[in-house]
A and B are shown apart, each in its own frame.
Chain A
Amino acid sequence: KAGVTQTPRYLIKTRGQQVTLSCSPISGHRSVSWYQQTPGQGLQFLFEYFSETQRNKGNFPGRFSGRQFSNSRSEMNVSTLELGDSALYLCASSWDETAYNEQFFGPGTRLTVL
């Protein structure tokens, strides 16, 4: 069974640009969650999608948005990039939105904002 895949793995952008990250969950999983990892803040929850609906959202500005498609693949978009958005963005999938102990993470997308 293929794991969670994230593309691209690395990305360099400049301030003010926008970026779209992609996450393909494990086959059969319908829940996708996104997290931001920075050295100073650790792992922080961004949002969660289940069956194409955003079910939960963390405390991030509106520049951070996402969506989920009918095949459960998810995208995350960050507009008007700031230097502080440089981070590892992780997505995790599970079969159910409450199956936290069965949540599988992808390797992440390393975003650098210059």
Chain B
Amino acid sequence: DQQVKQNSPSLSVQEGRISILNCDYTNSMFDYFLWYKKYPAEGPTFLISISSIKDKNEDGRFTVFLNKSAKHLSLHIVPSQPGDSAVYFCAAIGANQAGTALIFGKGTTLSVSS
């Protein structure tokens, strides 16, 4: 049962436009969320995070929005650049039987065309 869902496997955007990547979660106990970016043949790199006490966090061109009532978060990239083309993973810190761990979505492949 997928606790963190990224329902769009891919997204295509033109350079300069906004990219919006979406993520839904099922567990209302999740209180910290992260976005990672992954290029081919490289490991994921941390991009931006948000705590459940906030509804928005901004870092340069990247903004993450959190809607706790809808259990939904989104990553906005403005303006999009060709170098942003990568797989984006949404993750939540959740509890399992042994402690806490990162729970990832399946990822969304973003393609930014020039």
Contact = CB atoms under 8 A, between A and B. Distances in A.
Contact of A44 (B41, B49, B99, B104): B104
B interface majority secondary structure: strand
Nearest to B92: A100
A58 B43 contact: no
Interface in A30-49: 33, 35, 40-45, 48
Contact of B101 (A4, A45, A104, A106): A45
A56 B96 contact: yes
Interface in A52-86: 55-59
A25 interface: no
Given A105-B43, A106-B43, A107-B41, 20 more contacts: A4-B43, A41-B106, A42-B104, A42-B105, A42-B107, A43-B102, A45-B101, A55-B98, A56-B98, A56-B101, A58-B96, A100-B32, A100-B34, A100-B91, A101-B34, A101-B46, A103-B102, A105-B45, A107-B42, A107-B43
